[in-house]
Amino acid sequence: MHNKPNHRTTQQRMVILEELKKVKTHPAADEIYKMVRKRLPRISLGTVYRNLEVLSGLKKIQEVDIVENLKRFDGNPENHYHIRCMKCGRIDDAPFGLENDLEKKMRPLTDYTIISHRLEFIGICPGCSSKDK
Amino acid sequence: MHNKPNHRTTQQRMVILEELKKVKTHPAADEIYKMVRKRLPRISLGTVYRNLEVLSGLKKIQEVDIVENLKRFDGNPENHYHIRCMKCGRIDDAPFGLENDLEKKMRPLTDYTIISHRLEFIGICPGCSSKDK
DNA sequence: GTACCTGCAAAGCTTTTGCAACTGG
DNA sequence: CCAGTTGCAAAAGCTTTGCAGGTAC
């Protein structure tokens, strides 16, 4: 049995969090690195990655895509929804019709020209939940 | 001005498409490579990648995530929706409340334990649409 | 015949990791 | 004090690409 690590509030970790909270964009690690380096010129990219992971774990921030860094392909070219297992990464089609109202509701709220939307459910697949026991 | 390339129906391209249509999983390139290699042992991984791109362009298949291959981080840890520009990759928060009904509607339709969901709109941001002119 | 494709290998990018030195509590 | 962090550099993925030789049409 392992205890959770006791996370420390290092200067690097604080600055990364502060800089990320400051912007309304959704920067990738490299951009965050550049932002943080203005205040901590000697910080390393590895530290940025490690802290982003820690901060996500602490729910202080989140990753925009849960997606592991792999392109995945679907033999069905029609828009449809997916459900993804958070334990094993398995992806199934969601037995769920398209919610076309979503785009209609969104249009008046944004300056973007809406073209499409994606909906993904996140859960635990039958295989993984039986393993939990 | 360039013309679109005239795509050819090579054996490699056909087999990749057939194998991907056969499965209901959503395999990554490497898995597709393994599947295809059973029928075409000399095919290369590069060819698989190139054909997946061509087939996506032809809308014969689709990528599950439009996401460029970069993790992105959000200083806001609460669930909320995003809108992504298909031209420049910019991501903004969507001014759109959570649709909690979606999970409620999904639960009876699946064996997965639903934990959360993600909704992302895809469109063209104001900056990119003005450039279109 | 020639534009398009392929296999191979090398290069490119992003992310992760081993390690020795350092530091917050 | 010492578990947790850091910087650095190397390693490890996954994906893209240059090239010379094939191939569909």
Encode pLDDT of B5-31 as tens digits: 899 999 999 999 999 999 988 899 999
Is residue B58 pLDDT above 50, yes or no?
yes
CA distance linking residue B118 with residue B42, whole number of Å = 40
Taking residues B90-98, report their average pLDDT: 90
Residue B5 and residue B70 in one domain: yes
Task: Name the burial class of residue A105, with classes exposed (0-12), middle (13-18) and buried (19+) by CB atoms within 10 angstroms of its CB.
Answer: middle
Among B55, B75, B95, the domain boundary falls at B75
Residue B123 with chain A: CB contacts under 8 Å: 110, 112-116
Residue A68 and residue A84 in one domain: no
* Strand ranges inside chain B, DSSP E: 62-63, 73-74, 82-85, 91-93, 113-124
Is residue A133 pLDDT above 50, yes or no?
no
Would you call B96 and A90 a contact, using CB atoms and an 8 Å cutoff? no
CATH of the domain at B108: 3.30.1490.190
Would you call B64 and A72 a contact, using CB atoms and an 8 Å cutoff? yes
Residue B93 and residue B120 in one domain: yes
Residue B63 and residue B4 in one domain: yes
Residue B29 and residue B51 in one domain: yes
Encode pLDDT of A12-60 as tens digits: 999 999 999 999 888 999 999 999 999 999 999 999 999 999 999 999 9
Residue B19 and residue B52 in one domain: yes
Domain count, chain A: 2
CATH of the domain at A42: 1.10.10.10
Residue B17 and residue B54 in one domain: yes
Footprint of strand D on the protein (CB under 7 A): A 3-8, 10, 12-13, 40, 42-47, 50-51, 54, 69-71; B 8-11, 28-30, 45-46, 49-50, 53, 69
Confidence band, pLDDT 50/70/90 cuts, at residue B75: confident
Residue B112 with chain A: CB contacts under 8 Å: 83, 85, 92, 121, 123-126
Encode pLDDT of A107-118 as tens digits: 999 999 999 898
Residue B102's φ and ψ, nearest 5 degrees, are -60, -45
Q: What mean pLDDT is reported for chain B?
A: 89
Of B75, B103, B113, the CB nearest to A61: B75
Would you call B96 and A112 a contact, using CB atoms and an 8 Å cutoff? no
3-state secondary structure of A125: coil
Residue B86 and residue B66 in one domain: no
Taking residues B43-67, report their average pLDDT: 91
Closest CA to B54 of B95, B7, B100: B7
Residue B66 and residue B119 in one domain: no
> Facing residues of A92 across strands?
A83
Domain residues for the domain of A94 are: 79-133
Cβ neighbours of B47 (radius 10 Å): 17
